[in-house]
Structure 1
Amino acid sequence: MKIGELTETIAQQKKLWAGLNDPEGLMGEVDAALFGIPYDGGVSFRGGAAKGPQSVREITYTIAKTTEHLESFEGFRIRDLGDFYGGDRNRVFEDVRNLVETLIKKNQFFTMIGGDHSTTIPVLQGIDRAVGEEFGIIHIDAHLDLCDKMDGDSLSHGSTQRRALELDHISGMENLMFLGIRSIEDQEYDFLKDQNPSIITAYRMNQMGIKKVLEQVHEQMKNYKQIYVTIDIDALDPGFAAGTGTPQFGGLNSRQMLDLLMGIFELPILGFDVVEIAPELDPAKTASFAGRKIITECFGHHWRKTRGDKVLAKDRLHDRK
C-alpha cells in the first residue's frame, strides 16, 4: 500500500488545486486534507472509477481561486496526501480507516475522491472510530446503496449505507438522508418495507424545489454536531456527468446540485467525498469537470463558514441575494 505517492514534483504539487496545495502542510492546521482511493473492484457493472482521482487532479492546475459567487478563497490551504494504492482491499481499507480516524481526532476537515462508492465504506468506519457521539450521513446519489451484498460482496459499491447502519454511532435509518434517488434494487425494496427511510427522490426534488428540500434536510440533520456528505457523481443526470459506471436518466441538473450543496454546507460538515467518476466512459470528461466544480465549491462553502462572512466581504465582488 502506498499513500502520498503523487507523481508530480514538489513544485508541480504546489500548483495543484488552483495553487492552494501545500505539500508540507500539517494535519489539523490546513483548511482541508484531501486523498484519493483509486479502487473500483466493488462495482457491479462498468468499471473505470479507479481513474477518477487523477482525472480530477489533472484539471486543477489552471483554475481560479474563486467560487461561482465571485468570492475569493485565496488563503485556503489544502494538503493533498495522494492516493491509497495496493492489491489487497482489506489492507487498503484498513489504512483508510486509520487515516480518517486520525483526521477526525485532529478536527481536520477532509475530502476523499473515489473510486467506486465502496470506497466510502472505510471512510465512514474511520469516522465511527473517532467520534464519541452519533453522526449524520447525507447520501446524494441515483442509488440507495442499501444492498446487503451484490454478487456476493458485502463491500460492494451498492452496500455503502447498509454497512453504515452497522456502525456504533449510527443508531438507525434516522441518521441517514438520501437525495436524488431514482433507482432501487429488489433486495433494497424488501429491506425498506419495515424501515422509515428519509428519501427525497430526484422527481420529488424537482417538484419541491431546492429551498424546500434544504428545509427538510436541515430538519432531519439538526441534532447532529457532525455530518458527512457522500456524493456519487451519478446523482447528476448523465447529460451533466456522462462518465460514470451506472448512469440513471432523470437526475439532478448542475444548478440543483450546486444550490443543494451550498445549503447543506450551512450544517456542521466534517468532510465529504465525490465518487464514481469514470473518465474513460466519456471522452469529454464531463464527470471529471463536474467533480472538480463540486469539490472547489464545497471548499468555498467551508472557507466561508469557518472564516466568517465579515472576513470574506472584502473578497466578494457582488453580494449574494
Structure 2
Amino acid sequence: WQLTSRMFAAWRNVSLSRAVAAADSFSSLAPRQTLSLCSDRRRLRWTPSRQSSGKGFNVPPSAEFVARVSGINTMAKLPHQDSADGLDAAFIGVPIDTGTSNRPGARFGPRHIRVESALLRTYNSGTRAAPYESLMVADIGDVNVNVYDLKDTCRRIREAYRKIVATGCIPLTMGGDHTIAYPILQAVAEKHGPVGLIHVDAHADTSDVVLGEKIGHGTPFRRCVEEGLLDCKRVVQIGLRGTGYSPDSYEWSRAQGFRVVQAEECWFKSLAPLMAEVRTQMGNGPVYLSFDIDALDPGFAPGTGTPEIAGLTPIQGVEIIRGCRGLNLVGCDLVEVSPPYDTTGNTALTGANLLFEMLCVLPKVKYY
C-alpha cells in the first residue's frame, strides 16, 4: 500500500508539473494569438480588445471554442466595463427586492440571469438579427444599491441612469423588483421627455399607497404618471390578470388613457396582430419596454415573487418583444426574477433569452 501511495504521488507531481508548464506556455501567447488558435475565418472572433469583429464591436466568445462554464459571469459572456462610455447598449443589474410585497429573492436576479446567459449565442436564429455586428455592447455591472433604504436606492438608480443615458447608451436592465422602473424612467424622461411604455406584467403596478408607502413594486407607474414621465396615450399594459382589491383593478389605468390588454384577451392566440396595433400606437416617439417575468404563467416561470396563474406563454413573450422591432426603444428592463423559487434556473434562463430578444430589436440592429 505504501509503495502504491508513493507511486501515485510521483505520478501526480509529474502531471501537475506538465499542466503548469502547458498553462504557462499558453498564457505567454498574446491575446490575439491565444484566441486565433480557436478561430474560424467565417465567424466573428472574440478578443479582449475592440477589434473583435474587425469593425470595432464587442463579440461574445463562441461556446464552440470557449467552454460556457469558464470565465467570469457577465451577461452573455460579454466584456465588462465600468461605464457606458462608448457603448450603444449596455446590460446593467439592479439587485434589489426591498420593494417586494410577497416573496423576496429578486436581489439575486441579475446574478442568476448572468449565469444562465452563458447559453446564449451571437445570432438570433428566429429573426436573423446580428446585434453584435451592429452595436457596441458590454456588461457594465450593477448599481450599488442600498438594501436597507429603498428611497436611497431609488436615488442611486436615478443618478446611475442619468450617466448612462447621457452617453447615448440604451440600458438593458436586469432586475431586481419592479420598483426600479420608477427611478429609471425618471432618468430616461429627463433626456427624452415623456415616453411611450410597453408594460408586460401580471399586475398594473399603479397602486397609490401600499402599507402606508408610496414607493414599492406595486406603485411605479402611478408615480411615473404623477411626474409626467409617460405619454399616457402611448402606454399599453399586456398580460394583466389575477384577483383584485376592487371589481375593476384596471380602472385607473384606463382613466389615464392606457390601453389595457388583460391575459384573457391573449389566451390561445398569437400576439403578433396585437403588436402591429401597438406599433401604430407608439409611433415614432421614444418608447420604454418593461417586462415583468410574472407576465408569464408560473408553470413556465415559477421563480418570481408574485405569481399569478393563467398567464402568457414564453412564445407570446417573445412575440411581444419581436413586435417592438422598428420602434424607437430608449430602454428596456426584465424584472422580478427570484431564483430561490426556481431551483432549475429556468426562470433566469428565460429572462436571459428575453433580454437578448430585447437587444435584437434595438434601433440600428442588422438583420440578415
Shorter-normalised TM range: 0.7 to 0.9
Residues 293, 336 of structure 2: 8 Å contact kept? yes
Instruction: Provide the residue aligned with 1:230 in structure 2.
Output: 290
Match of 2:275 among 206, 214, 220: 214
Mapped partners of 1:291, 1:241: distance in 2: 9
The one-letter code sitting in structure 1 at the alignment partner of 2:228 is D
Match of 1:61 among 108, 118, 143: 118
Residues 202, 252 of structure 1: 8 Å contact kept? yes
Tell me whether 1:88 sits opposite 2:149 in the alignment. yes
The one-letter code sitting in structure 1 at the alignment partner of 2:239 is G
Instruction: Provide the residue aligned with 1:120 in structure 2.
Output: 181
Mapped partners of 2:251, 2:86: distance in 1: 46
Q: CA deviation at 1:164?
A: 1.2
Mapped partners of 2:229, 2:292: distance in 1: 23
Mapped partners of 2:225, 2:296: distance in 1: 25
Instruction: Provide the residue aligned with 2:350 in structure 1.
Output: 290
Mapped partners of 2:354, 2:250: distance in 1: 30
Instruction: Provide the residue aligned with 1:33 in structure 2.
Output: 90
Q: CA deviation at 1:177?
A: 1.0
Q: Unpaired segments of 5 or more residues in structure 2?
A: 1-69
Tell me whether 1:240 sits opposite 2:322 in the alignment. no
Distance of aligned partners of 1:190 and 1:63 in 2 relative to their CA distance in 1, 3 Å threshold: closer
Residues 289, 331 of structure 2: 8 Å contact kept? yes
Mapped partners of 1:253, 1:189: distance in 2: 22
TM-score (norm 1): 0.83
Match of 1:158 among 218, 236, 239: 218
Tell me whether 1:301 sits opposite 2:361 in the alignment. yes
Mapped partners of 2:276, 2:254: distance in 1: 26
Q: Which has the higher contact order (CA 8 A, sep 6+)?
A: 1
Residues 201, 292 of structure 2: 8 Å contact kept? yes
Instruction: Provide the residue aligned with 1:316 in structure 2.
Output: none
Match of 1:203 among 264, 268, 272: 264
Distance of aligned partners of 1:22 and 1:43 in 2 relative to their CA distance in 1, 3 Å threshold: closer
Alignment RMSD, CA only?
A: 2.3
Distance of aligned partners of 1:19 and 1:209 in 2 relative to their CA distance in 1, 3 Å threshold: closer
Match of 1:101 among 162, 165, 170: 162
Instruction: Provide the residue aligned with 2:194 in structure 1.
Output: 134
Larger gyration radius, structure 1 or structure 2: 2
Instruction: Provide the residue aligned with 1:19 in structure 2.
Output: 77
Instruction: Provide the residue aligned with 1:44 in structure 2.
Output: 101
Q: CA deviation at 1:256?
A: 1.1
Q: CA deviation at 1:250?
A: 1.1
Mapped partners of 2:309, 2:346: distance in 1: 15
Q: CA deviation at 1:146?
A: 0.8
Mapped partners of 1:142, 1:66: distance in 2: 30
Match of 1:269 among 329, 348, 355: 329
The Cα offsets for residues 127-183 of structure 1, whole Å up to 9 and x where unpaired, read as 12222x331111100111110022222111111211110123435x32321011113
Mapped partners of 1:270, 1:192: distance in 2: 23
Distance of aligned partners of 1:81 and 1:208 in 2 relative to their CA distance in 1, 3 Å threshold: same
TM-score (norm 2): 0.73
- Choose 235-244 or 82-91, whichever is displaced more: 82-91
SS in 1 for 2:198: strand
Mapped partners of 2:114, 2:163: distance in 1: 24
Aligned pair count reads: 293
Mapped partners of 1:137, 1:115: distance in 2: 19
Mapped partners of 1:192, 1:19: distance in 2: 39
- Choose 268-277 or 85-94, whichever is displaced more: 85-94
- Choose 226-235 or 55-64, whichever is displaced more: 55-64
Mapped partners of 1:18, 1:169: distance in 2: 31
Q: CA deviation at 1:46?
A: 1.1
Q: CA deviation at 1:186?
A: 2.5
The Cα offsets for residues 95-135 of structure 1, whole Å up to 9 and x where unpaired, read as 2112222222322111111111111111011112222x331
